Structure 1
């Protein structure tokens, strides 16, 4: 299982075609994009254990590693993720398995 994230700061207001027409209140920013890949099935319990380990690591470091974005992996799976911010609220978008 592997998860790779790339930190970016791409705002809707920065796009040449629409940038001038997007107010600060309406702006949307993509903060990171990523790929999650599993070569075997992982149960919901296993994903929960991995996320708990990520929480422990984040508490002892200044890191902000994200949780796995899915509840379980049914088998070999590849998903794309994006962390999006709108008006100070962040949320993670996850694609259907590819």
Structure 2
């Protein structure tokens, strides 16, 4: 898994790319990105499955904030990103949420 951040010079926005490798995705057919940036909607941010089996999505996030997120695999399994910037306890699941920190570099 990886998170790539590209800060825009003209706006306080960061193009943030989330990737799940094929080895981490296993036999999953679908993956969704869910977090406080989309109201934890479990279907509004489907990740694209690449030919090599990786899943990826790029979204715009406002600078100067940190966001909680998780991946939902095949609509049933929540998965964390080991490359997240931090982790915090989830108030709803018996696990941590991933944190991505978007701070202009």
TM normalised by structure 1 equals 0.29
Decide which structure has greater helix share.
Answer: 1
Decide which structure has greater strand share.
Answer: 2
Higher relative contact order (CA 8 A, sep 6+): 1
Query: Considering only CA atoms, is the larger Rg found in Structure 1 or Structure 2?
Result: 1
TM normalised by structure 2 equals 0.28
